Structure 1
């Protein structure tokens, strides 16, 4: 992507040519050394550098990363961790990420996956030899060069034995690739990287992680409590991967064993990487710019945009009774927009604090609606309900839990009987404990019932007096008044449990490219709709139509009664580059308009015809959520900002900055903003 007016033209001795992307630590640029070598320059955000603890950690990590040498790693070539700004330069790897390659070209054959596994094991051997643990191995951190993969981003690696990063209890990594011991806040060592390697290989072979997608807490829960789904893998490969994914880190194989097992010349010799991937990498290497890309607005024809990794998880669509809650990790710092006229009369603040509450140690925000905010204490088995408008306590109680059967080591050693709230729907608050799912009255906290679910705690969607509880390959139906099971239905395929919706007499769920509809009267499959790419978002249902986005960036409208495609929008033309097709965001339907975010764009379409009403590029590289409130669209983005757009025209109103870190929970419910940070819960009202 071209440099913008706010980007530097040079960092250290490196001339910057283009922007490659952005992450939690800062922006990444394509640069050239004085001798012409291409490098990736990561510039750390100023806000992080104001934290002296972070700067000290960054200095240590740069020193450690420089010790890593290996063919399948992107070497650190230069750095100035004490500079202003601080920066790190690594070898530039022209090529798709594994995440992009699978989305664009499909899953890999067994021989290619084995070759990939051998290369990644060799990279981890180099990392571990330098007494490091990578801690964030995932498909977007594996770049595919013409001569093989490279493991990148040691920005959150920590020296083995250095406990500084874990002293706060922060979990670092990407859901589905974080090992269970790290989620339990236990020591994480090289065996954690082996777990992530197994998950990456499963992703390459099946196109989805072994623990599915959806909300982060749901994926993390499956990692700790459930077995991986490896049905898309060849049996011999599945045997290797399942060993890597062992819950007990001591039961996982060593990197040396993986090199022996996966590096067999008959299975992973030269030429193992799929041809289309090699062709793409070769072409991209030839297209690496040698001069700065034209900036936006310059009177020149822009060069092709460079592919960049994206990070977007599947978003959950709950029933209409469930309040929309968009979660972003971040510490919030509100400030007035830069263009405000300081000389004019004072105007009402865009963000007004409503109330705040100090939380007990171990107490966390777990669910919320426009009326109530719910806190849980997992180990004390306590749930507290607050009034969303003023923070007053509505009820608080120690809830029932399930006893752990003495004959089950799995329940005793892995699951436990702590509580985990899973859903708020139909006036009930659901939580899991041991091998049961519990329901309490959301308004009073009164116990309703419990259901034996063998520790696979679902997130039920309630319609009327019926709760639909979805698992990977089936759903079961409970009477919300008694908790008794009414019936169940098996899809016969692996479906995405976070992607369920119920409308009329139809239950809808996604299975990769297919949208499946089950008639809940006849208990038979009613229809199947085939999209052009895998589902990437939850399902938004309105006026007899279901809306969803796919991994290639398209927005679909499908008739919920027949499965007929009403319309689709693929974002072809100036406002969309298909090579960036990392996936769409959750649609929002309000007042006959579908609001949709993709990459850095916010779009509005007529819900009936699909005709565009407006499109607007945001200042940030990526939009992360949309919330429609009256005539205002509240938009959050990857720069950590909250923006108000006019819902009818897309015209921007105010924009407030959020200074993001890893220790807070940020939610939007209508125009109420909830922030949990440093043991304190604060509610704000956003101007609309």
Structure 2
């Protein structure tokens, strides 16, 4: 790609010629030395150049890459990690990445696969013999040169003698190619982790699909840790080799020397894939998933096509050293979109320097350095009083839910479960992936009930997501498998099921008036039902060639529809539905746009699609009048990047890096933009009375910013012992209950704090003597139950705290 106006012309002694690719933390250029030698120069983005910790990491990358040399690695020829913009130059290797090669020509044949496998094994030998672990071996980091593959990008490698950084404790990787220990015990990663990644990569090269592909990175990560690989399409003898490489236990995988001997026996001719294949997982014959988070495949369902189109439109081509996986960040606009329209996989992939990296954080840390004590004064009157009976508390919802009903304790629910809570007064109704919807008392943290109607007795493509609460009922989208889903109405007081109806597996539901609207199970209709009985009030027949997801704006139902057979351009149609009979009025037909963010007056705010939303600005905001269909474009500033949210009449953009930007929705003018020290923030909430914006990270770190300036007021230490493997606005949540704040971390750790004393630690509370009326069991532990003391990864005594036993209520 040609250089842009803002690109430098030279870097060190090298003249920059073209862009090879870009990621969230840097750009890779094709350059030429004075002697005419071509090199690939990686240049760090300016905002990260000011971060000394990042510079330290970059120095480690340079040092690790310099130690590695061999026929199948790209050597470092020059670097300056102390420059104003740190950079590193490696030998330029012409040729596509492995991912590009498969995209253009499909899976490799036997001869190509043998050459790739032996070349990568030799490269790992060269890497490991100098004490370096690559830790991100993936298709985008393998270049397919004419004389064999080249392993590139040591951006997240670790040398055995490097000191482990603990300020942010960040560990990166790409879910389909990460080892189990890299996901669950990142500090224990050895060279055996690269062997696991090599096994996954060879499966991908042979079949075009990874052995653990799932519809989202958190599911893929779960399958890597707990499920056997899907190897039904891999023919022998490769099948047996990769099966050993993909062993869960690191010591059961072959060493590099043995692996080379095994791979040397691969034939250069013959079948690489089985004739029938299949999507079952090796070892148990269970049904798998081929959505291809590593390969860009499809699940095969028609309604998934739009996701594939969007990913295809947003993927940037890269060449040579770049290998940069391009992706997009969707906007969510206050509603957690379940629909795959907005690319669930790319929504939580973080672009790292030189490639698309999946970002994890060590327990108790995600980018800050502990509690900030510059919070609001305790002497001023409270803008919003604390609710009567409130006390600080913390609750592990997944653990506490196991106390309700037999069999739940057998389901190992841990890690990123994408929780979502809806609120009615002081009660929270929360659900997530692979655990049932439950009710939590937001004043005390007491778990009132966990619905028996939605119990998940196995891990897979299942979840329970609360849609809303109305008329004494909680409406939940329950997906027990990847092919079935139902809308369930639960009694708000007891959790008992009142009625259930089948719905689409991938689309939303919405409440309006005394009705709830969902997509039918065949995706060909929108059905409005009586909320009390579930009986059909009316049906909107979706036009042929379209699919629609329902949404309610201003208590009026709408259909957000898209052309299901369009191959190049994504056309969307917005229709307003009459509440009485479902008759439709077409408002607009839009090209390449996201879902609506919400209403500002009578205008629905909509963002256009961009190819790299976390690093490329949205050019404009579309204001669509929902009464007249009139459209107006509002230009947006350069920091209109990341994920958009309409909150209290302001437009916020939240980037993966932690930058938060506020924009005026009428003029499009930037009100402020602040680079925070907390990454992976969720959707903000606004308190105009306190003049404050509150956000929560995936690890449960709360952040408070001044509403007028964006200045950081305070941040807390993490509240979760799991720091999250996902990202984006659905990974965490903030709610207000009177003057208190409730935070929801990505592992369904819930907690409540006083914003005037955000660092106050909860203390264990005694279990009530009797159950709360209408509950099935107490969500608390007895006062005699031992609690475990956990220490945050943040340095300093201020971050030490006694964490209550999961499920226990707490008081100050």
Query: Counterparts of 2:663 and 2:39 in 1: how far apart (Å)?
Result: 38
SS in 2 for 1:474: coil
- Specify the alignment match of 1:194 in structure 2: 195
- Specify the alignment match of 2:681 in structure 1: 666
Query: Counterparts of 2:262 and 2:545 in 1: how far apart (Å)?
Result: 38
SS in 2 for 1:66: helix
> Alpha-carbon deviation of 1:32?
0.8
8 Å CA contact retained: 1:107, 1:207: yes
- The 3 A distance-change label for structure 1 pair 639 and 461 is closer
8 Å CA contact retained: 1:16, 1:31: yes
Cα-to-partner distance string for 1:232-281 (whole Å, 9 max, x where unaligned):
65686555544433322223334445444555564479x99xxxxxxxxx
The one of the two structures with greater contact order (alpha-carbon pairs below 8 A, sep at least 6) is 2
Quick check: 1:126 aligned with 2:138? no
SS in 1 for 2:325: coil
Correspondences of 1:409-448 after superposition (within 5 Å): 415=412, 422-425=419-422, 427-430=428-431, 437=436, 439-441=438-440, 443=442, 445=445, 446-448=447-449
Quick check: 1:557 aligned with 2:575? no
- Specify the alignment match of 1:598 in structure 2: 610
- 2:393 pairs with one of 385, 391, 396: 396
Query: Counterparts of 1:569 and 1:220 in 2: how far apart (Å)?
Result: 35
Query: Counterparts of 1:63 and 1:84 in 2: how far apart (Å)?
Result: 19
Query: Counterparts of 2:502 and 2:236 in 1: how far apart (Å)?
Result: 27
> Alpha-carbon deviation of 1:57?
4.6
> Alpha-carbon deviation of 1:551?
13
Quick check: 1:683 aligned with 2:704? yes
8 Å CA contact retained: 1:540, 1:548: no
- 1:454 pairs with one of 442, 457, 481: 457
- Specify the alignment match of 2:509 in structure 1: 502
> Alpha-carbon deviation of 1:217?
4.5
Structure 2: gaps (5+ residues): 274-315, 352-362, 368-381, 468-472, 511-515, 553-557, 576-581, 687-692, 710-812
RMSD: 5.7
Query: Counterparts of 1:633 and 1:610 in 2: how far apart (Å)?
Result: 21
**Please, which moves more after superposition, 15-24 or 317-326?**
317-326
Query: Counterparts of 1:59 and 1:436 in 2: how far apart (Å)?
Result: 43
> Alpha-carbon deviation of 1:155?
1.8
Query: Counterparts of 1:394 and 1:235 in 2: how far apart (Å)?
Result: 61
> Alpha-carbon deviation of 1:89?
0.4
Quick check: 1:627 aligned with 2:656? no
Correspondences of 1:87-126 after superposition (within 5 Å): 87-102=87-102, 104-105=103-104, 107-108=106-107, 111=110, 116-126=116-126
8 Å CA contact retained: 1:641, 1:655: no
SS in 2 for 1:668: coil
- The 3 A distance-change label for structure 1 pair 327 and 233 is closer
8 Å CA contact retained: 1:202, 1:230: yes
Quick check: 1:474 aligned with 2:474? no
Structure of greater Rg: 2
SS in 2 for 1:29: strand
Correspondences of 1:301-312 after superposition (within 5 Å): 309-312=324-327
> Alpha-carbon deviation of 1:179?
2.0
> Alpha-carbon deviation of 1:88?
0.9
8 Å CA contact retained: 2:81, 2:87: yes
> Alpha-carbon deviation of 1:59?
3.3
Query: Counterparts of 1:199 and 1:518 in 2: how far apart (Å)?
Result: 41
Query: Counterparts of 1:362 and 1:638 in 2: how far apart (Å)?
Result: 18
- The 3 A distance-change label for structure 1 pair 570 and 318 is closer
SS in 2 for 1:171: strand
- Specify the alignment match of 1:353 in structure 2: none
- The 3 A distance-change label for structure 1 pair 92 and 461 is same
Quick check: 1:143 aligned with 2:143? yes
SS in 1 for 2:72: coil
- The 3 A distance-change label for structure 1 pair 211 and 541 is farther
Quick check: 1:545 aligned with 2:545? no
Quick check: 1:656 aligned with 2:673? yes
Quick check: 1:26 aligned with 2:26? yes
TM-score normalised by L of structure 2: 0.55
- Specify the alignment match of 1:281 in structure 2: none
**Please, which moves more after superposition, 547-556 or 596-605?**
547-556
8 Å CA contact retained: 1:419, 1:431: no
Cα-to-partner distance string for 1:577-622 (whole Å, 9 max, x where unaligned):
xxxxxxx9776465345322312352556879999854868647x9
8 Å CA contact retained: 1:441, 1:447: yes
Structure 1: gaps (5+ residues): 273-303, 331-360, 366-386, 492-496, 572-583
SS in 2 for 1:59: helix
Query: Counterparts of 2:386 and 2:152 in 1: how far apart (Å)?
Result: 44
**Please, which moves more after superposition, 667-676 or 609-618?**
609-618
Query: Counterparts of 2:405 and 2:257 in 1: how far apart (Å)?
Result: 38
Query: Counterparts of 1:448 and 1:17 in 2: how far apart (Å)?
Result: 63
SS in 2 for 1:460: strand
Query: Counterparts of 1:229 and 1:490 in 2: how far apart (Å)?
Result: 29
Query: Counterparts of 2:384 and 2:204 in 1: how far apart (Å)?
Result: 43
Query: Counterparts of 2:200 and 2:684 in 1: how far apart (Å)?
Result: 34
Aligned length: 567
> Alpha-carbon deviation of 1:529?
8.8
Query: Counterparts of 1:682 and 1:508 in 2: how far apart (Å)?
Result: 40
> Alpha-carbon deviation of 1:187?
0.2
8 Å CA contact retained: 1:182, 1:188: yes
> Alpha-carbon deviation of 1:90?
0.9
> Alpha-carbon deviation of 1:16?
1.6
